[in-house]
Amino acid sequence: MARRYDPERRQRIIDAAIRVVGSKGLAGLTHRSVAAEADVPLGSTTYHFATLDELMVAALRQANEGFAKVVAARGGLTDPSVDLAGELAGWMGEWLAGDRTGVELECELYLAALRRPALRPVAAEWAAELAELIGRRTDPVTARALVALMDGICLQVLLTGTPYEEEYARDILDRVVTGAAPGT
C-alpha cells in the first residue's frame, strides 16, 4: 500500500493543537486529542512531534505570529513622529480585540513555560524580538520594560475579564517611555 502524500499534515496537526488548547486548555492536549481534532492517524502526530513539548513549541511559535502580524500591519515603529506609547497601546488593543482563543492560547503557553523548560526559549525569543523592535525607538532597558508592562496589562485583561482600556495603557506606557511620574 502506497503512502499518501500529505504535505499539509504537519500544519494541520499544529492548527488542531491550537484548537484543542483553545477549547480544553493545556490539560486537554494529548497526541490522541490532537490526532482526533486533525483527523489524522495517531502515529502522524508522534511522527511529526515526538513529544507534547515539541508540539507546544510549534503551537507557541504559530501563536506568536498572530501578534507579529498586528505589529507588522501597523508599521508605526518606523516613523519617529508616531507616538510610541500610543502605537504600543494600539497594538495591544488590536491584539486583544481579535480572536480571544489565540490570545488566551499564547498566554497559556507562555505560562506553561514555568513548568515546561522546552517552551522557555520560544517565550524568551519573542520577548527579545519585541524588545529589539521597540528598541529602535528607545533604549534597550526601556524597551524591555515596555515589553514587560505590555505583558502585564494583557494578562490582567485576560485574567480579570475587564475590558481593555487603550487610553489607560497609553498613559502608563508613556510614563515608562518618558520616565515621568504621574502629574508631571
Kindly state the cell numbers that stand for 179.
520616565
Distance CA 9, CA 16 (A): 10
pLDDT of residue 165: 95
pLDDT at 3 over 60: no
Q: What is the CA radius of gyration of the chain?
A: 19
Longest dimension (CA), the chain: 75
Tell me the three cell numbers of residue 183: 502629574
Does the pTM surpass 0.75? The reply is yes
Q: Determine whether 94 is exposed, middle or buried from the number of CB atoms within 10 Å of its CB (0-12, 13-18, 19+).
A: middle
Domain positions in the chain are 1-50, 64-178
Architecture per CATH, domain 64-178, reads as Orthogonal Bundle (1.10)
Check: CB of residue 38 under 8 Å from CB of residue 46. Answer: no
Per-residue pLDDT tens over the stretch 42-64? 999 999 999 999 999 998 888 77
DSSP 125-157: HHHHHHHHHHTTTS-HHHHHHHHHHHHHHHHHH
DSSP SS3 for 50? coil
pLDDT number for residue 63: 79
pLDDT at position 1 is 45
- Tell whether the model's pLDDT for residue 66 goes beyond 90: no
Report the distance separating Cα 26 and Cα 20, nearest Å: 8
pLDDT tens sequence across 16-46: 998 898 888 888 999 999 999 999 999 999 9
* Better pLDDT: 70 or 181: 70
- CA–CA–CA angle 94, 112, 43 (5° rounding): 100
What pLDDT does residue 108 have? Answer: 84
Q: Please compute the mean of the pLDDT values over residues 146-173 and round it to a whole number.
A: 93
pLDDT of residue 4: 66
**Domain 1-50 - what CATH class?**
mainly alpha
Q: Residues 71-119: pLDDT tens digits?
A: 777 777 778 888 999 999 998 998 888 777 777 777 888 888 888 898 8
DSSP 165: -
> Which residues lie closer than 8 Å to 76 by C-beta, 6 or more apart?
82, 87, 90
Cα torsion for 54, 59, 64, 65, to the nearest 10°? 110
- Mean of pLDDT values over 115-126: 88
